[in-house]
Amino acid sequence: MIDQSHSPIHAAVEQFVREELSQENAHIAGAVWSMLDAGGKQLRPRITMLAGRAAAQSSPEDPVLASYMELIHVATLIHDDVLDNAGTRRGRQSTNRAYGNRFSVLAGDYLFSWVFKKITIGYAPPVPTILAAMLAEICNGEVKQLRAAGDLAMTPERYLEIIGKKTAELFGSCAEVGAINALLQAGKPSGPALRAETEVLALREFGRLFGLAFQIRDDLYDATASEAQLGKPAGSDLREKKMTLPLIYALADGGAGARERVERLFAYDDPSDECAQNALGAVVEMLRDRAVVERTTHAVQRYAGEALRALAPLPQSAARDELAGLARSLSAFSS
């Protein structure tokens, strides 16, 4: 894991959590800081800042906006852990396990509201509008994922729709608002017309495609990596009956025997039951099949490659190169 403890993003997040947020609600600040202190890749704030530099190289960096995007991500994780009844996150107790579900729901809601208050005060249109629409899409994706739990008829198209809302929308919005904020600082007039700027369109599409590749890779990693690598129990998606792309491919390629394995696992209400653990192991083995891994990895590489091509309209810059490097790091993934 890259040490982010001295990054401008980390410093901005620490300032807001320890100083501003803690003054308003110290209990929530403590819960948020516990999750932040556990680490993380900080990809969303990083993309926010890189998009700004790629869109307007002369504009100053804005780690404050980037830190807000990380806090929005943290709020989604807090809610996710409640929905999934998770016990760990980033190798530590999840917020819901440490503080309870009721506190966690309110903490996530409060964090969303607090961040959006700050963004509305501090940033010109269309930044607040983009982020409000983004939050609605994330919630829409969460609802669709919940309704699709255990649905063995799930198609790749429906899966992509769900992760497009639940994951890719946040990445796309990070890139878009980072670019727009930089253009505003460079002297462009505020307003919805900024969303049609060539740089903004290209960066939003990069973020969206990067988000699709990222989530597909994450879903494959959930089945193929160890608990130590994941920071949470391996096979968590299966315990929650989530229909991921590796599972969809395994069902399509494995015939009746594959379907029977998954049905047996999903029939258990208590994933900690010994019989459920045996059923989980059988399905995980199925997802680790070479053909399933290769097919899923090909999907990751496809969307990562499309993300790279989305950067083509941007002028050459170190920031564009770094964004391209992030996409290549996804496409280079293997189990």
Per-residue pLDDT 10s for the chain (335 aa) are: 344 545 777 777 777 777 766 777 777 777 777 776 666 678 999 999 999 999 999 999 999 999 899 999 988 988 887 777 766 665 577 777 777 888 888 888 888 888 899 999 999 999 999 999 999 999 999 999 999 999 999 999 999 999 999 999 999 999 999 999 999 999 999 999 999 999 999 999 999 999 999 999 999 999 887 666 655 566 889 999 999 999 999 999 888 899 999 999 999 988 778 888 899 999 999 999 999 999 999 999 999 999 999 999 999 999 999 999 999 999 875 44
Which pLDDT score is estimated for 2? 40
Which pLDDT score is estimated for 91? 59
Which pLDDT score is estimated for 26? 76
Q: Where are the domains of the chain?
A: 8-331
Which pLDDT score is estimated for 203? 98
Do residues 180 and 194 lie in contact, with contact meaning Cβ atoms separated by under 8 Å?
yes
- Secondary structure of residue 36 in the 3-state scheme: helix
User: Rounded CA gap, 13 and 33, in Å?
Assistant: 9
Residue type, position 331, single letter: S
Instruction: Transcribe 154-222 into DSSP letters.
Output: --HHHHHHHHIIIIIHHHHHHHHHHHHHHHHHTTPPPSGGGGGSHHHHHHHHHHHHHHHHHHHHHHHHH
What is the CATH number that goes with domain 8-331?
1.10.600.10
